[in-house]
Amino acid sequence: INEKMLEEILNQYPAKVKRNRKKHIIIRDPEQARQEIEANTRTIPGIITNRGCAYAGCKGVVLGPLKDMVHITHGPIGCGYYSWLTRRNKAKSEDPTNNFLSYCVSTDMQESDIVFGGEKKLAKAIDEVMEIFKPKAISVSATCPVGLIGDDLNAVVRAAQERHGIKIMAFNCEGYKGVSQSAGHHIANNILMEQVIGSGDLEEAPGKYPINILGEYNIGGDSWEVERILKDIGYTVLAVMTGDGSYEELKNAHVAELNLVQCHRSINYIAEMLEVKYGTPWLKVNFIGVQATIDSLRNMALYFGDAELISRTEEVIAREVARIEPIMEQYKRICQGKTAFCFVGGSRGHHYQGLFGELGIETVLAGYEFAHRDDYEGREVIPDIKLDADTKNIPELHVEPDERRFRLKVSPERMEELKKKIPLSYYKGMNVEMKEGHIIVDDLNHYETEEFIKILKPDIFASGIKDKYVVQKMGIPAKQIHSYDYSGPYAGFNGAIKFAEDVAMGFVSPTWNFITPPWK
Ligand code: ICS
């Protein structure tokens, strides 16, 4: 696609819309030092976007996976219903009476509650939850109407907390609070940091190489595979935020020596705050793809700098690679030479490109639904990002070094040395890894999806539930990268072969021969 073809696509829009959308699309040109993209701004009304809302980002994404809490949705039933495990964030517990993940708890607001207020109903719902489940902690998430009618969530929650003597947290994550689910991530990060992380009494980690995994939500079992590898090498995984995670673990996350960040978009706020408050650096990792997993493991070993850990890391890598390589090769023969579109949320649009590449599939168009400019252009652009009214809507939580617990885990000199070799407190973003001429689109919509497909005719479309059926009807296999279509895990070594199998299966299915795409 060249600029002229892009113009033609955009010419279908009214002039104002065209000007807007143009800033969200880049044709990659590695000659340019930086290609600016507009991101994290409002979707134009009337355009069909794949984005979700602030409530989805808060309750659905960050809080939802915490299994030992009951998560109450204060609102009409639809909001709770659609966030009822459809994301496939899996969890298991030693103690099944302490895992509430399979329940969907909502105040089920009716018209009369909208007119007369829903506070009493919410208080009663909390009492009922205490009576039935007796959890150690409860979250209450607000939906759009709650904010519109002015229910005082915080007052109800404060009173309930006194009544019941357990941790109950209010999340003012009304859907409209931001331009996408990204706002909800930030709201959840702030409150977990303020009220949960560090509230445990541990002063020292209970094992060797203690780490937290941030921004890993155990979709399709991803974090189980990552933890399998890390434990095999000898790491102590204290808390996963928040895949198969728990309130109890989160409380003591402050004792880690290193925080890994898988999804930068959803959890960079906590990662940064942990560094300021406790002196714990964070390392950007990516456990999607064989090479990305290997690089992440090596970077971790380098951080700890322990000879024994480094050699154990190499042992595990060698063993795993020898085991999966022949299987990957087999699927590569089916996939080699094909092309993909990879359009997902706020991190996977980038993370899956390496894994596609390992199968011989080139990603010719990629993008995020709701990521910010730093996820495209790298964290160095953060000072240049204009803060608009929508962004300012979410308060920045200010943290200070913890007087008692702050401890630099690495000396400033060693930190500088390490930063030259590994991505500590840094994310380079997606753009640098895209090749010349390939397309980067922010907040891709259905019209543009169809137009780009007609021109580029990708062999596979990696995206989500909202667009997959349109794409399949165009005769193109679609792979959901959000929920993995009932499959997974896709992370780590075992995940790579599972993904390869699923993608190859998509290609060899005879179904596509029975569909005539619109351009034929
Ligand atoms: Fe992060 Mo769907 Fe994650 Fe990412 Fe986030 Fe969402 Fe999912 Fe997607 C997510 S937290 S739910 S990696 S697990 S909001 S797949 S940004 S859009 S790419």
Amino acid 462: pLDDT: 98
Encode pLDDT of 67-97 as tens digits: 999 999 999 999 999 999 999 999 999 888 8
From the CA of 242, how far away is ligand 1's center (Å)?
12
From the CA of 446, how far away is ligand 1's center (Å)?
19
Contact in structure between 60 and 181 (CB atoms under 8 Å)? yes
Is the distance from the beta carbon of residue 265 to the nearest atom of ligand 1 less than 6 Å?
yes
Which element (helix H / strand E) includes 374?
helix 373-377
Q: What CA–CA distance (Å, rounded) separates 10 from 64?
A: 38
Considering the chain, what percentage of its residues have pLDDT values greater than 90? 95
Nearest-CA residue for atom 10 of ligand 1: 266
Encode pLDDT of 45-66 as tens digits: 999 999 999 999 999 999 999 9
Q: Which residues are catalytic?
A: 53, 56, 87, 185
Q: Is the pLDDT confidence value at 424 over 80?
A: yes
The pairs formed by 306-311 with CB atoms below 8 angstroms and a separation of 24 or more are 306/209, 309/209, 309/233, 309/234
Q: What CA–CA distance (Å, rounded) separates 471 from 460?
A: 9
Q: Which of 80-89, 121-130, 365-374, 387-396 has the lowest mean pLDDT?
A: 387-396
Encode pLDDT of 181-225 as tens digits: 999 999 999 999 999 999 999 999 999 999 999 999 999 999 999
Amino acid 46: pLDDT: 92
Is the distance from the beta carbon of residue 263 to the nearest atom of ligand 1 less than 6 Å?
yes
Tokens for 474?
Answer: 């165009």
Amino acid 499: pLDDT: 98
Residue in 493, 497, 494, 488 with CA at minimum distance from that of residue 218: 488
Please give the order of strands across the beta sheet that includes 282-284: 236-242, 210-216, 258-261, 282-284
* Nearest-5° Cα angle at 66, 297 to 267: 50
Tokens for 281?
Answer: 């650096």
Amino acid 94: pLDDT: 85
Contact in structure between 81 and 60 (CB atoms under 8 Å)? no
Amino acid 493: pLDDT: 98
Q: Is the pLDDT confidence value at 520 over 90?
A: no
Round the average pLDDT of the chain to a whole number and report it: 97
Phi, psi torsion values for 422, nearest 5 degrees: -130, 150
- pLDDT band for 106, please (50, 70, 90 cuts): very high
Amino acid 361: pLDDT: 98
Please give the order of strands across the beta sheet that includes 362-368: 25-27, 439-442, 362-368, 339-343, 460-463, 478-480
Is the distance from the beta carbon of residue 220 to the nearest atom of ligand 1 less than 6 Å?
no
Amino acid 182: pLDDT: 98
> At 425, is the secondary structure helix, strand, or coil?
coil
Is the distance from the beta carbon of residue 219 to the nearest atom of ligand 1 less than 6 Å?
yes
Residue 118: how many other CB atoms lie within 10 Å: 26
Q: What CA–CA distance (Å, rounded) separates 505 from 388?
A: 45
| Mean pLDDT of the region 351-357 | 98
Residue 203: how many other CB atoms lie within 10 Å: 10
The pairs formed by 152-157 with CB atoms below 8 angstroms and a separation of 24 or more are 152/119, 153/74, 153/122, 155/119, 156/119, 156/122, 156/123, 156/126, 157/126
Comparing 393 with 234, the larger pLDDT belongs to 234
Q: Which mutation among 87, 222, 348, 375 tests ligand 1's pocket best, with the greatest number of atoms within 8 A of CB?
A: 348
Amino acid 167: pLDDT: 98
Measured from the CA of 57, which atom of ligand 1 is nearest?
A: 14
Nearest-CA residue for atom 1 of ligand 1: 263
Amino acid 33: pLDDT: 86
Encode pLDDT of 425-452 as tens digits: 999 999 999 999 999 999 999 999 999 9
Is the distance from the beta carbon of residue 66 to the nearest atom of ligand 1 less than 6 Å?
no
Q: Is the pLDDT confidence value at 517 over 90?
A: no
Tokens for 267?
Answer: 């959890």
Q: Is the pLDDT confidence value at 518 over 80?
A: no
Amino acid 96: pLDDT: 83
Residue in 269, 260, 247 with CA at minimum distance from that of residue 189: 269
Is the distance from the beta carbon of residue 87 to the nearest atom of ligand 1 less than 6 Å?
yes
From the CA of 348, how far away is ligand 1's center (Å)?
7
Is the distance from the beta carbon of residue 284 to the nearest atom of ligand 1 less than 6 Å?
no
Amino acid 80: pLDDT: 97
Amino acid 336: pLDDT: 98
| Mean pLDDT of the region 228-238 | 98
Q: Can you tell me which residue has the tokens 């890993």? A: 216
Q: Is the pLDDT confidence value at 20 over 80?
A: yes
Measured from the CA of 262, which atom of ligand 1 is nearest?
A: 12
Considering the chain, what percentage of its residues have pLDDT values greater than 70? 100
Amino acid 515: pLDDT: 87
Amino acid 197: pLDDT: 98
Q: Which mutation among 51, 266, 499 tests ligand 1's pocket best, with the greatest number of atoms within 8 A of CB?
A: 266
Amino acid 513: pLDDT: 87
Nearest-CA residue for atom 18 of ligand 1: 345
- pLDDT band for 141, please (50, 70, 90 cuts): very high
Q: Which mutation among 55, 285, 344, 466 tests ligand 1's pocket best, with the greatest number of atoms within 8 A of CB?
A: 344
Contact in structure between 261 and 268 (CB atoms under 8 Å)? yes
- pLDDT band for 516, please (50, 70, 90 cuts): confident
Is the distance from the beta carbon of residue 441 to the nearest atom of ligand 1 less than 6 Å?
no
